[in-house]
Amino acid sequence: MGAWLTATSNNNVSASTTDVTVNKVDLSGYYTTTGKTAALIDLHVYSDVKMTKRTGTIAAGALIKVLGIEYSSNGYPRFKTASGYVTTVRTAVVEPTSKIANYYTTNTGQIAVLIDLHVFSDVNMTKRTGTIPAGALVKVQKIEYSSDGFPRYKTDAGYITTGKTAMVQPTSNIANYYTTNPGQVTALIDLHVFSDVNMTKRTGTIPAGSLVKVQRIEYSSNGFPRYKTSDGYITAGKTAVTFDVGTTNAAKIQQVIKLAKTKLGDPYTQSQAGRLGPNSFDCSGFVYYLYKTAAGVTLNGTVTTTEEKSGHEVSLNSLKSGDLLFYGTRGSTYHVGLYEGNGVMIHASTPEDGVKETQIQYYMPSFARRILD
């Protein structure tokens, strides 16, 4: 004979027929209303309300849509979900906050911090242990719920809120962006500058090759990292900027060479207004621009006869990348280029050729100066 069970006002369970033995159940330890529930522990899932046929598991931290409540023949309430039946016991599940829409409830692996975040050692956030600064990209281990139904992210540092005003899920192609502040970057292309982090109000341009000081990283509302500079916000995309990779001279020289290669094909000019770059050069203006922009080094003047006094002289038999190659007698030089390495020089050549690479065996310099050892 079929039967169904209902909870009475005194927490007893009554049956529709008399052939079912009904136990009195104290329902104070169980949820008896529908909506959503959050798993505090890994929950066993069953295909039947009596929970005799286990079919799977719902992981701790999951937010579960409840389709309804049904009672077992011995009076215990069960949540009916799309996966099957789970317990409603309060030690295993918790009713989420009524403002759950204001929180992230899934673990995407990492989260971008919009404000300085307090870190706690416990999920109920009673013991503060530190702070994660705004702009950080944080790895998330899992989601846990507090005893009053608020979701928390468990991180290596401890527990943090999942509030959407405090963080944002980073773009799915975050690997294509820099997510740390190197202090300064070099522009690989002409960079648009914006007054706001969401890049809706363009205010200017930073020329390709410029060395840009970075104040901090901020994230847009849709999860893209931006570099905050004194001029405004610029992209942190790896195709648009590159790290000033270090403060060693070797690192600076590599930045100089890298910038020089981005200028191949740029026009040669003798115009005083355009010869120092960033988009046209003469020979001395070119090397002056490279060292100032990529390495933060100001050469001794902007013409060959003054630049030949920069650094110190080295033998043509012991050239290194970054050396300046001069043509003409000392004090009366007429041309200069940058030694790239492997017998190749990059220089602003002539009005016909512009910036180009040249094998120096066909155009031997008179002497060389080393700017950075």
Provide CB contacts within 8 A for 213, sequence distance 6+. 183, 184, 229, 230
Q: Give the torsion sign (CA, 288, 289, 295, 301).
A: positive
Which residues on neighbouring strands pair with residue 120, listed in sequence order?
128, 159
Q: Is 317 helix (H, G, I), strand (E, B) or coil?
A: helix
- Give yes or no for a contact between 161 and 117, defined as CB atoms under 8 angstroms apart: yes
Q: Does the annotation mark 283 as catalytic?
A: yes
Cβ count within 10 A of residue 121 = 13
Among 118, 192, 312, 335, which one carries the catalytic annotation?
335
Tell me how crowded residue 179 is: count the other CB atoms within 10 A of its CB.
16
Cβ atoms within 10 Å of 344's Cβ, excluding its own: 15
Structure tokens at 258: 């890298």
Catalytic residue among 44, 118, 283, 312: 283
Q: Is 312 a catalytic residue?
A: no
Whole-angstrom Cα distance, residue 304 to residue 348?
13
Measure the CA–CA gap between 124 and 253, rounded to whole angstroms.
52
- Smallest Cα–Cα separation from 278: which of 330, 348, 226? 348
Q: How many CB atoms within 10 Å of residue 168?
A: 18
With beta carbons less than 8 A apart as the criterion, state whether 233 and 226 touch: yes
Report the length, in residues, of the chain: 373
Distance CA 76, CA 99 (A): 29
Which residue is associated with the tokens 């009916």? 80
DSSP H helices in the chain = 249-262, 283-290, 304-307
SS3 307: helix
Which residues are the active-site residues?
283, 335, 347
